[in-house]
Every structure is written in structure tokens, then in C-alpha cells.
Amino acid sequence: MSKADVKGAVQQQFGNVAQNYTTSKVHAKGQDLQTMVECVTLNADMRVLDAGAGAGHTAMAFAPYVKEVIAYDLTPAMLIQVEQNAQERGLTNISTQQGDVENLPFDDDSFDVIVSRYSAHHWMNPAQAVREFARILKPNGYVIFSDIVASENPAFDTFLQALELLRDPSHVRDFSVSQWETMFGEAGFEAEVVDLFDLPLDFENWIERMQTAPAHVMALRSLYSGASADIKAQFNLPDELPDGTFTFTIPSLVMKGRLPQ
């Protein structure tokens, strides 16, 4: 699939389900949001970019502590959700802009902090995006990522990528800690893993949020049912899959990168 095809798929997929991401508990109240806010010292003079903003939950978490947040996303329908959600909360320092993270329309040295949450696994060229972040950040600026993280174990990695793609055809790839560290390092960042955690998910909510096709839901259930004992333990899957919903986890991380002077 070409880069244009992938970006078109992302816009279509998330344009159809934008409202679901406003109400998603995973996105609105995840434990990693507070971790992201607390892992750097914020102040009222800072300018923040939320790259791949989705419905704006990360932008809204940072907005009370800084001067300005720009919520930047590829999908116009998502930015409408940001505007509505910010207005409902009375947050007047959030603005929106549509575009691609791999080609940012901002001047060099124009942001103090860049944040991105549950977006990077949809990017065709994340290394290029990270280089763009380094370009537009001020010296000593920070980038803070939260995303699903792939295992260094090939079997666990294959299982994760398969279930992500079945659930969401616009998925590109989850990356491992070592892959993110390499991308950050090559762009000039000093990288630090702030937190590694298991993200709890309810299966029915997870597929409903993305409006996963019924045939893919059946394939997902088959994938889970046929998983090895090691994979079931890795993803906290039940030994016997029930007919209805069930909970499982996906490994996730918060990573911070500082751009030296």
C-alpha cells in the first residue's frame, strides 16, 4: 500500500469513528495521561504541539499548564471533536490545525514540548516525523510519546501486529522500545523510557470504537482462541474465550526525548 493510500485509509477510518474517541475511557482517562503531564516541568510560557491529536484528550491535559496548545491531526473530523471538547471544558488556549506529522508546517525552534499519544502506529514514516519534531523544537525541548509498544520477542510481535491490523485496517506498525530509542537517537534526542505498562482493554468496547468489520471480529476471536499459552500470558487473555466480551491487555509505553542545546 502506498503512503497516500495509508493516509487516505486513516482519514476515512477515523473520520467515521471520531465521536467514539471523545467518549473512549481508554483515551480520555488512561493512566498514561498524568504520567505524560508530570514527566517534564511545564510553565505558563510554553507552546505545545499535540501531534496526531485525535479527539484532543492529550491537548486538554496539557492546556491548563501552558500558554498554548496546537492540536494537529490528519483527520478533519477529529479536529472538530477537539474544538467541541475544548469549548465544553472552557479551554481557550487550544487551537487546531490539519496536516501530516511527517511534513510539519511550523518554523524551526517554535515549540517547547511536543506530545503524541496512540497515534504513531498509524504513521508511514515515524523516523521522518521524529526528525521533524527535532527541527521545530527549541533547544532543550521535549517530545513525549505514549503508544502501544511491540515486543522484542518475534512471536509476541507478530501476534500484536496481526490483531491490530485485523481490528483497524489503517494500522501500520507498533514499534519496540529499541526501535523507538534508535529513531529518537538518530534525530538527536536523548531518549528515556518513563513508563512501561499493560493497557487494559474490553474486547467489545475495543472493536465497537473502531467499528471493526464482523468478519475481522471473527478472525480476532479465532486468533485469540488459538494462541499459545505464552501469548495468552503475555496479553493476559483468558484460557477459555467466552462467547461475550472479555478483558485483555496490550503492552504500552511512555517515552520522553530531550533535545540538547
Using the 8-state DSSP alphabet, how is residue 50 labeled? Answer: E
CB 98 within 8 A of CB 109: no
Is 234:151 a contact under the CB 8 Å cutoff? Answer: yes
Place 108 in a pLDDT band, splitting at 50, 70 and 90: very high
Specify the length of the chain in residues: 261
As a whole number, mean pLDDT of residues 147-158 equals 97
Q: How far apart are CA 56 and CA 127, in angstroms?
A: 23
The amino acid at 49 = L
Residues contacting residue 48 through CB under 8 Å, at least 6 positions apart: 59, 62, 66, 68, 69, 70, 111, 112, 113, 114, 115
φ, ψ of residue 14 to 5 degrees: the values are -80, -25
What is the pLDDT averaged over residues 150-156? Answer: 97
User: How confident is the model at residue 10, as a pLDDT?
Assistant: 47
Whether residue 122 has pLDDT greater than 80: yes
Query: Is 163 exposed, middle or buried, given 0-12, 13-18 or 19+ CB atoms closer than 10 A?
Result: buried
Specify the DSSP element, H or E, that contains 15.
Answer: helix 3-23
Beta strands of 35-93 (E only): which ranges? 47-51, 68-73
pLDDT tens digits for range 25-56: 555 568 899 999 999 999 999 999 999 999 89
Q: How confident is the model at residue 19 (pLDDT cuts 50, 70, 90)?
A: low
Which has the closest alpha carbon to 101: 130, 121, 81?
Answer: 130
Task: Work out the angle at residue 94's Cα, subtended by the Cα atoms of residues 90 and 95, and round it to the nearest 5 degrees.
Answer: 130
pLDDT in tens, 67-94: 999 999 998 988 998 999 999 999 999 9
Domains of the chain: 3-151+170-199+251-258 (3.40.50.150)
Q: What is the pLDDT of residue 170?
A: 87
